[in-house]
Amino acid sequence: MQADSETTLTPDSNEESNYHPQFNSPDSDTILGSKDGYLFRVHSYTLKTTSGWFRTMFSLPQQGSSAASETIFVDEDYPTLEALLRMVCGLPIPRLDSFEIIEPVLYAAEKYDMPGPLSIIRALLMTGPLLSDPLRLYTIACRYGWDHEARQASTQTLTLNLHSPTHRQTLMKLSTEALLNLVDLHHRRREALRKRLNEHPFVNDSGDTTCANCQSSVNYHTWRELKYVIVLEMDVRPLGDTILNGGLGEWPAAKACWNAKCEACGRVLYDRKETLKGIRECIDQLPKTVEYSNPLETAAAIARLEL
């Protein structure tokens, strides 16, 4: 019996030691073999009721010897096949706390049309260890159409600089739409903040400006330079937390801004407390998750990124 690219062989009588101890019941009528040579006895009923792939395979006419006397060798290794079978058989599952472990299981569950293991892993995605790599989490969530998890992961990516070469390989795994949605989120946050900093109640640094106290002509170049630094920081870390926690107190441009005074009356040009409050409110109001686009909105996102 052969299905797709799987190879079916008859197990050797000396291979008893290769059977998994929890998948070695003599009344099981199907033997699955991992690509590294380990064997698993499983009930065909379990496979047929939990896997669309196996349900289709067992419905095909059998040629030659019965399925009970054959081993169905699959492409998965021992840990992946064990985790998959534990899930569908209701046995305790192994630790699924890293992408190196769960990705092969996800691919196998998708390949064999097993919704059970997919739902189990989906429930585990938003746990601590996996949240430590939000970009990889976003990639998986987008691949399987898990919108809620994708939105949550997109928020977590706001601590990352997508332009960094370290993220290139992960970003290349995304579909065009998923990539555009993520890049657009980061871009929209930066542009929304840049626009907001040019509006009331922040000072107008363009054209002729005067001191609010003595009406003398003043140059608000220090504010203009600080805004430039803020926007650059949003490219590096779109979350904006480094602007509020440290940047506005430590950057040379920030210090120059807070120390700036009117040359005529000596009045401080900027109310530091109110300015910081205004910037914090602006950042809190920025978009936090990806937006799923229709084709026209996707085209608009591309146009925005090209500006």
pLDDT tens track for 51-92: 999 999 998 887 655 544 578 999 999 999 999 999 999 999
Q: 143 lies in a domain?
A: no
**Count of domains for the chain:** 2
Q: What are 200-240's pLDDT values in tens digits?
A: 888 877 766 788 788 888 888 899 999 999 999 999 999 99
Q: Contact at 8 Å (CB) between 105 and 96? A: yes
Q: How far apart are CA 124 and CA 127, in angstroms?
A: 6
Residue 172, C-beta contacts closer than 8 angstroms, at least 6 positions apart: none
Q: What is the pLDDT of residue 174?
A: 96
Q: What is the DSSP string of 179-203?
A: HHHHHHHHHHHHHHHHHHTTSTTS-
**Rounded CA separation 244/157 (Å):** 18
Residue 212 sits in the same domain as residue 108: no
One domain, residues 18 and 120: yes
Identify whether 64 is part of a domain: yes
Model confidence pLDDT, tens digit, residues 6-40? 333 334 444 566 899 999 988 899 999 999 999 99
The stretch 111-127 carries a mean pLDDT of 94
Residues 119 and 196 both lie in one domain: no
- Whether residues 16 and 113 share a domain: the answer is yes
How many Å apart are CA 44 and CA 29, to the nearest integer?
Answer: 6
pLDDT given for residue 301 in this prediction: 52
Cα(237)–Cα(147) distance, integer angstroms: 23
Average pLDDT over residues 111-133: 92
Burial class (CB in 10 A: 0-12, 13-18, 19+), 217: exposed
Query: Which among 86, 101, 124 is the end of a domain?
Result: 124
User: Is 136 a residue whose pLDDT tops 70?
Assistant: yes
pLDDT at position 210 is 80
pTM, to two decimals: 0.82
Mean pLDDT in the chain?
Answer: 87
For residue 257, what are the domain limits?
A: 183-284
| Domain contains 266 | yes
Instruction: Evaluate whether residue 97 is within a structural domain.
Output: yes
Rounded distance, CA 146 to CA 127, Å?
15
Task: Determine the pLDDT at residue 12.
Answer: 46
Q: Based on the number of CB atoms within 10 Å of its own CB, is 22 exposed (0-12), middle (13-18) or buried (19 or more)? A: middle
Q: Is residue 199 part of a domain?
A: yes
CATH number at residue 80: 3.30.710.10
**136 within a domain of the structure (yes/no):** no
Give 246's contacts (C-beta < 8 A, 6+ positions apart): none
Residue 292, in any domain of the structure: no
Q: Residues 12, 83: one domain? A: yes
**305: in domain:** no
User: Highest mean pLDDT: which of 109-113, 203-207, 302-306?
Assistant: 109-113
Cα gap 141→150, rounded to integer Å: 5
More confident call, 301 vs 108: 108
User: What pLDDT was estimated at residue 4?
Assistant: 37
